[in-house]
Amino acid sequence: MSTRAMQPRRVLVVTDQSDTQIALRSAKVLADRWGATLEFFACVEPPHDLNVLARLAAREPTYLLDELRERIRHATLARLTEYLPDDQIALQVAVGKTFVEVVRHVITTECDFVVKLAEPLSGVHRLLFASTDQHLLRKCPCPVWLQTPDAPAVPKRVLAAVDVDEWDAAEPETLHLLNLRVLEAACTIAAPSDAQVTVLHAWDAIGEGLVWAFSSSKDARSSANRYVSEVLEVRHKAMSRLIDQSSRDTPDDDGVPLVPRLVRGAPERVLEEQSRELNADVVVMGTVARTGLSGIFIGNTAENIINSLACPVLAVKPDGFVSPLAER
């Protein structure tokens, strides 16, 4: 396999107590395939009433946290050893807010891929991503793969969402590079055989109404139809250029097929509908951020889409993203 910019070197698993251990299994396959180091991370979040507990136990708060951390370490190592009996396990156990500690660990160790079990909000049957996951999506500088318990460990039906409307973008080059990163990430996690990446672009002809309004009644319909056709043709050409550029770095004999799909409609609706129609194993998408600015982490559209999906998500940041948790 040719070297990719997205090829992971250090894959971090955020551990959990689930029966399926889907995050571990997916990360293990990913790390083995690309020759990456596999690392594990657990976090102890101090209870809000820690001082009360410490007083009632006649112990210092730090003692209770140290004890809890050791218990978590012991239990986590036992579970990991059960699933990976022949592997050397590198486990980091931190104390603090999970998303903060994960992001800091990624920044410090230069991990370049995070895999985690998605946490559904309690009482909600359809999948919504809980606050820890939302914070990771906004603030983690490397790709974050949120797996679901019933998802395949190695996805074959990968849906990659791109935006090829670079003409309307504030930073066209940033958007183009982000699109390429989305495709690279999709190919990186896709099964090495029998997989397909559907490259989806939700488009619209926003000026159609104006064409109707300013055309004579005799030719308004034909003018509007020509306008829509021209917009679609421009998007088809932009999609072809994107896929061609992405495919040039992958040999023909082992590249994952990239199949273009253009659907008219709002991105929030189109991506949710297409993920169900295609029975996607995972949706890969970029989170919108301005290069070098830590104040803008994820666009409203991306966040709405992620909360509407009922399948795993792999979120990719643009080049130059600066996490707000990075030391300055």
**Matching residue, tokens 């008219």:** 264
- Right CATH for 10-45+96-316 from 3.30.70.1230, 3.40.50.12370, 3.30.230.70, 3.40.50.10800: 3.40.50.12370
State the pLDDT at residue 319. 82
Question: Interhelix angle for 172-189 vs 22-34, to 10°?
Answer: 100
Which residues make beta-bridge pairs with 260?
199
Distance CA 21, CA 147 (A): 10
Which residues make beta-bridge pairs with 39?
12, 90
Question: Interhelix angle for 131-139 vs 300-308, to 10°?
Answer: 140
Determine the average pLDDT of the residues in 6-14: 93
Distance CA 113, CA 171 (A): 25
Give CA torsion, residues 7, 11, 27, 97, to 10 deg. -140
Q: Report pLDDT digits (tens) over 165-217.
A: 877 666 778 888 899 999 999 999 999 888 999 999 998 877 666 666 666 66
Q: Which amino acid is at 84?
A: L
| pLDDT of 125 higher than 50 | no
Q: Classify the C-alpha dihedral 260-263-268-272 as positive or negative.
A: negative
Mean pLDDT over all residues of the chain?
84
**Matching residue, tokens 């600015």:** 293
Q: Please, is 316 exposed, middle or buried when counting C-beta atoms within 10 Å of its C-beta (0-12, 13-18, 19+)?
A: buried
**Helix (H/G/I), strand (E/B), else coil: 87:** coil
| pLDDT of 153 higher than 90 | yes
The pair of structure tokens assigned to 101 is: 């500690």
pTM: 0.87
Distance CA 284, CA 185 (A): 7
pLDDT confidence band for 130 (50 / 70 / 90): low
